[in-house]
Amino acid sequence: MIKAIAVDMDGTFLDTNKSYDVARFNNIFNQLQQRNVKFIAASGNQYAKLISIFGQREMFFVAENGAVIYDGEELYDYRAFNFDFYQELIHYLHYERSMQELIVCGLKSAYILKDTSETFKKVAHFYYRQLEEIDSFAHLPNDEYVKVALNINRDTHPQLDQDLAVKFADDISIVSSGHDSIDIIIPEMTKGNALKRLLAKWELTADNLMAFGDANNDYDMLELAEHSYVMENSHDQMLFDVANFVAPSNDKQGVLSVIEETVLAPEL
């Protein structure tokens, strides 16, 4: 029996316009609560961004690709990089590899440089509702750092992800949320790992979990869940190989349709 549902956001729950059918979801959410089925937003996004999408609800938020977990408004669990190592990582990216457009992600806020393009700032502010612009990455603000987000320009940095994987082999993992957008995370601090911790808390198993995703950073979440769905709009063949089912695309509100047709279907 399904007792928990985890959904990725961009390309999965949200349509191309970054929206969803709020009234339809509210009806589904209320029914899930009545059946004691837990709903989890599992995303690379910041917690503040997820709250802007769903509002305050009795649900769980797995943010920053699994490093941060909130139970409603309450911080339930998080994992942060060693600060000295994180500073070394940022120094390598910014000063040695000349990466300007970095989003340095802390528990309290995300940070970008003031001296970056307005286009980059606009995108960063859209995805990170708690965001500060700082003068330099030389001395990072006092925070617990959980992730680095960046886009790789293959013309200027064709092998950056491979170089990172070699230089920091034991200290980082790299996941993609689509195209050349990558997150540098703590090893094993993934969406799947976060869901394992929650299942243990609730005394549930993978047989009780339904999960939806469309990108590389959803792989271990889909691998974990017995009721795993890759979105038909996904461009990642590995997800079609690992998922047990295919859901209609995000622009067809595929997540909501599957939940209605399976979890909430009347019993015969």
Task: Tell me: do 15 and 70 sit in the same domain.
Answer: yes
CA 25 to chain centre: 20
89 & 179 share domain: yes
Which of 123, 153, 185 finishes a domain?
Answer: 185
| Euclidean distance between CA atoms 79 and 223, whole angstroms | 22
Residues, the chain: 268
Residues 87 and 144 in one domain: yes
| 136 CB burial (10 A radius; 0-12, 13-18, 19+) | exposed
Answer yes or no: is 180 within a domain. Answer: yes
More confident call, 178 vs 230:
230
Question: Does the structure show a pLDDT above 70 at 268?
Answer: no
| pLDDT category of residue 177 using cuts at 50, 70 and 90 | confident
Q: Are residues 199 and 243 in the same domain?
A: yes
Six-digit token string for 220? 């271990």
Compute the mean pLDDT over every residue in the chain, rounded to the nearest whole number: 95
Residue holding tokens 């790299």?
Answer: 174
The answer to whether the CB of 192 falls within 8 A of the CB of 220 is: yes
Note the pLDDT of residue 265: 86
Q: Are residues 177 and 194 in the same domain?
A: no
Residues 53 and 102 in one domain: no
36 inside domain: yes
Phi, psi of 127 (to 5 degrees): -85, -25
Catalytic residues, by residue number, are 8
Q: Are residues 112 and 71 in the same domain?
A: no
Which of 153, 170, 185 corresponds to the end of one domain? 185
Whether 268 is in a domain gets the answer no
CA distance 161 to 181: 11
Its domain, for residue 137, covers 83-185
Q: Do 121 and 244 belong together in one domain? A: no
Of 149-163, 195-209, 213-227, the one with minimum mean pLDDT is 149-163
C-alpha dist (Å) from residue 198 to 47, 59, 103, 116, 212? 17, 12, 27, 38, 16
Task: With a cut of 70, say whether residue 178 has pLDDT above it.
Answer: no
Q: Is the pLDDT of residue 267 over 70?
A: no
Provide the percentage of residues in the chain whose pLDDT is more than 70. 99
Number of domains forming the structure of the chain: 2
Domain boundary among 163, 185, 207: 185
Task: State how far the Cα of 28 lies from the Cα of 22, in Å rounded to an integer.
Answer: 10
198, part of any domain: yes
- In a domain, residue 93? The reply is yes
Do 209 and 232 fall into the same domain? yes
pTM of the model: 0.94
Mean per-residue pLDDT, 81-103: 96
CATH code assigned at 151: 3.30.1240.10
Q: Are residues 197 and 229 in the same domain?
A: yes
Contact between 72 and 38 under an 8 Å Cβ cutoff? The reply is no
73 and 198 within one domain: yes
Which positions ≥6 away from 160 have C-beta within 8 Å?
97, 99, 152
The 3-state DSSP class for residue 76 equals: strand
Taken in order 204, 206, 209, 212, is the CA torsion positive or negative? Answer: positive
